């Protein structure tokens, strides 16, 4: 009860300070378009089906949810006027008047409730559906997979076209145009904290008429909107301009943002040097020794909520059961993380000791079992040999990664460390783009390990754990399942206070240290550079620049 009051008081105070502070800055050309780097989104731009960084940057720019996050990860109200609860179980959400989508449709309570129901419904196959699993009625809309609605006959003809909003979660109730209630399955004192994630965005009624078409040309209510029909040039860029009707806490001081999709980070870096790109939010490893001297007054190197790892799919031979547990531990202990972060990353990474990030409250470097993340050549060989006694390993160990993300150097270093320690063949397996790499992950088509970094959606330990390792979660591509882990995660989410929740999340991580569904590598800093054409560049807690604050003369 006390925690709820504290959380809400903080939210209110932040909302007031955000509104009062405004975005006053130096006199600049508010029509100037900022150019930044990005990746081709994996899917169309539907908020409830966007879980990767490339699409996330865009969706967050064109939609405004109930709350948003400051540079430090604190929440401040956007569309929400208040989010209140007496028991942390039933929440009343009241919206500010006057919000509209860019097609002039008003943003109402139904805009949120309909969007969340769409995201949760099994038939809609949305990748963020598990974000709604704490709302009463979620299990009912997920169980519709056993319902004949939308089934096809022996000729492949649709018997019945499912309504994208039916059935709906019973825990969501529209009270009036500016009020709705949310009933959770159990108390969650920090529930409002997650609402700044783009999956909780509202949708206009027109979206449900043709969601496929909408995803190509989304209509939002955020600080930016698509510049025109066809502004998304696939595999090239997406052009956004300021939304004139937006009056929230992220009001832009520029004319728009063009997010350019570069094939390599090296190419993007060269573009900033040449004045063709304004801001780069990830310095390639090839420039770690020079980026400070190349951009002495326009660079950043600060902690961020980014975790780097790689996964081994459970569907591959040798990587499940007792044998798989031994091999995962052996692989982990065969990697010299300290040497790689020192040599390859030049102080821009820190070896991992858990599955979250040091910038998140509740982080710990004292978890039981964390010694499996330490380089131990002798123990690694012993465990590999023990696994071989169960079933001999043959073939090549490959580690998949996207070549457009600047990962080649560290992947080579990791596979060489594995190769030299375990005396097996190990190689990197590059994919041209992030989207293609994700496709093989989501389609269970990997031949070996895969890069599996995580950039937090909202600042919470839970967000580093549930989306990736909870049974059936949208980003649990490698099909890990553990009733013990799931139970501890649920207990943490339902804890009455933050301290109890943190303890359960740490216990859950100790289960992960035993099972190793992912091999933690290191935490990433936000390392970026920008040209002298722009000012007021600030990187957020999640390493993404605050586009709306950037000015261009």
> Can you tell me the distance from the alpha carbon of 320 to that of 342, in angstroms, rounded to the nearest whole number?
32
> Can you tell me the distance from the alpha carbon of 108 to that of 288, in angstroms, rounded to the nearest whole number?
47
> Residues 6 or more apart from 252 whose CB is under 8 A from it?
23, 30, 223, 224, 242, 246, 547, 548
> Can you tell me the distance from the alpha carbon of 43 to that of 341, in angstroms, rounded to the nearest whole number?
32
Closest-CA residue to 242 (of 231, 261, 227): 227
Question: Residue 201 corresponds to which tokens in the numbers above?
Answer: 């965005």
**Residues making up the chain, counted from first to last:** 553
Q: Residue 349 pairs with which residues in a beta bridge? A: 524
Question: Residue 185 corresponds to which tokens in the numbers above?
Answer: 């399955």
DSSP 8-class letter at 298: S
Measure the CA angle with vertex 204, ends 199 and 210; round to 5°: 90
3-class DSSP state of 83: strand
Report in angstroms the alpha-carbon separations of 168 from 136, 202, 203, 232, 407. Answer: 10, 16, 15, 32, 42
What fold characterizes domain 2-24+47-211? Answer: Dipeptide-binding Protein; domain 1 (3.90.76)
Q: Residue 544 pairs with which residues in a beta bridge? A: none
Cβ count near 146 (within 10 Å)? 7
Q: Dihedral angle at the C-alpha atoms of 503, 508, 509, 515, nearest 10 degrees?
A: 160
Would the CATH topology of 2-24+47-211 be identical to that of 303-525?
A: no
Q: Which helix (H) or strand (E) holds 75?
A: strand 75-77
- Supply the pLDDT for residue 145: 60
In tens digits, the chain (553 residues) has pLDDT values of: 222 322 332 232 222 222 222 333 333 456 799 999 999 999 999 999 998 889 999 999 999 999 999 998 889 999 999 999 998 899 999 999 999 999 999 999 999 999 999 999 999 999 999 899 999 999 999 887 655 444 445 565 544 545 777 789 999 999 999 999 999 998 887 899 899 999 999 999 999 999 999 999 999 999 999 999 889 999 999 999 999 999 999 999 999 999 999 989 999 999 999 999 999 999 998 999 999 999 999 999 998 999 999 999 999 999 999 999 999 999 999 999 999 999 999 889 999 999 999 988 899 999 999 999 999 999 999 999 999 999 999 999 999 999 888 899 999 999 999 999 999 999 999 999 888 888 998 899 999 999 998 988 888 899 999 999 999 888 899 899 999 999 999 899 888 778 888 999 999 999 999 999 999 999 999 999 999 999 999 999 999 999 999 999 8
Q: Which helix (H) or strand (E) holds 401?
A: strand 396-402
Closest-CA residue to 403 (of 446, 365, 433): 433
Q: Count of alpha carbons within 13 Å of 164, Cβ hemisphere only?
A: 19
> Can you tell me the distance from the alpha carbon of 442 to that of 113, in angstroms, rounded to the nearest whole number?
28
Q: What's the whole-model pTM score?
A: 0.75
SS3 letters for 333-372? HCCCHHHHHHHCCCCCEEECCCCCCCCCCCCCCCCCCHHH
Question: Residue 417 corresponds to which tokens in the numbers above?
Answer: 């460390």
The domain spans of the chain are 2-24+47-211, 303-525
Q: Does domain 303-525 have CATH number 3.20.20.120?
A: no
The owner of tokens 């060989």 is 381
Q: Residue 396 pairs with which residues in a beta bridge? A: 425
Question: Residue 522 corresponds to which tokens in the numbers above?
Answer: 């290191």
- Supply the pLDDT for residue 7: 30
Peptide bond into 167 cis (omega under 30): yes
């Amino acid at each position: 009860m006390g925690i709820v009051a504290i959380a809400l008081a903080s939210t209110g105070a932040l909302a007031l300070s955000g509104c009062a502070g405004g975005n006053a800055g130096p006199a600049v050309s508010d029509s100037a378009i900022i150019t930044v780097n990005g990746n081709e989104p994996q899917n169309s731009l539907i908020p409830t089906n966007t879980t990767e960084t490339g699409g996330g940057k865009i969706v967050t720019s064109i939609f405004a949810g109930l709350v948003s996050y400051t540079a430090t990860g604190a929440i401040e109200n956007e569309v929400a006027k208040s989010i209140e609860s007496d028991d942390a179980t039933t929440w009343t959400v009241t919206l500010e008047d006057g919000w509209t989508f860019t097609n002039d449709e008003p943003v109402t309570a139904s805009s949120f409730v309909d969007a969340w129901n769409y995201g949760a419904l099994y038939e809609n196959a949305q990748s963020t559906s598990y974000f709604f699993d704490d709302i009463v009625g979620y299990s009912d809309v997920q169980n519709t997979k056993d319902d004949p609605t939308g089934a096809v006959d022996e000729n492949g003809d649709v018997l019945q076209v499912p309504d994208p909003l039916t059935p709906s979660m019973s825990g969501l109730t529209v009270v009036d145009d500016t009020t709705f209630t949310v009933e959770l399955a159990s108390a969650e004192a920090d529930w409002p904290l997650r609402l700044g994630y783009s999956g909780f965005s509202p949708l206009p009624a027109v979206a449900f008429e043709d969601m496929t078409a909408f995803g190509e040309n989304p209509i939002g209510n955020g600080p930016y909107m698509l510049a025109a029909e066809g502004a998304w040039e696939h595999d090239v860029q997406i052009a956004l301009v300021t939304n004139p009707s937006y009056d929230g806490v992220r009001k832009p001081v520029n004319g728009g943002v063009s997010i350019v999709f570069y094939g390599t980070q090296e190419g993007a870096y060269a573009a900033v040097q040449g004045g063709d790109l304004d801001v780069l939010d990830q310095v390639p490893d090839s420039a770690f020794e020079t980026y400070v001297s190349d951009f002495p007054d326009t660079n950043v190197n600060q902690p961020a909520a980014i975790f780097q790892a790689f996964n081994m799919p459970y569907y591959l031979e040798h990587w499940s059961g007792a044998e798989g547990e031994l091999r995962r531990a052996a692989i982990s202990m065969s990697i010299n993380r300290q040497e790689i972060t020192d040599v390859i990353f030049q102080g821009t990474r820190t070896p991992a000791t858990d599955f979250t990030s040091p910038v998140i409250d509740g982080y710990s470097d004292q978890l039981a079992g964390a010694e499996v993340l330490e380089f131990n050549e002798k123990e690694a060989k012993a465990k590999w040999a023990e696994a071989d006694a169960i079933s001999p390993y043959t073939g090549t160990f490959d580690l998949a990664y996207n070549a457009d993300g600047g990962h080649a150097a560290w992947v080579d270093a990791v596979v060489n460390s594995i190769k030299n320690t375990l005396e097996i063949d190990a190689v990197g397996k590059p994919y041209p783009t992030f989207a293609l790499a994700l496709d093989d992950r989501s389609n269970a088509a990997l031949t070996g390990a895969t890069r599996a970094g995580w950039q937090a959606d909202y600042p919470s330990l839970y967000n580093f754990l549930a989306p990736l390792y909870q049974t059936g979660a949208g980003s649990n591509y490698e099909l890990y399942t553990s009733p013990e882990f799931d139970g501890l995660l649920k207990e943490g989410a339902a804890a009455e206070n933050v301290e109890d929740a943190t303890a359960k999340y740490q216990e859950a991580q100790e289960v992960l240290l035993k099972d190793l569904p992912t091999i933690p590598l290191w935490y990433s800093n936000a390392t970026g550079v920008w040209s002298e054409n722009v000012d007021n560049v600030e990187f957020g807690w999640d390493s993404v620049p605050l586009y709306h604050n950037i000015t261009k003369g």
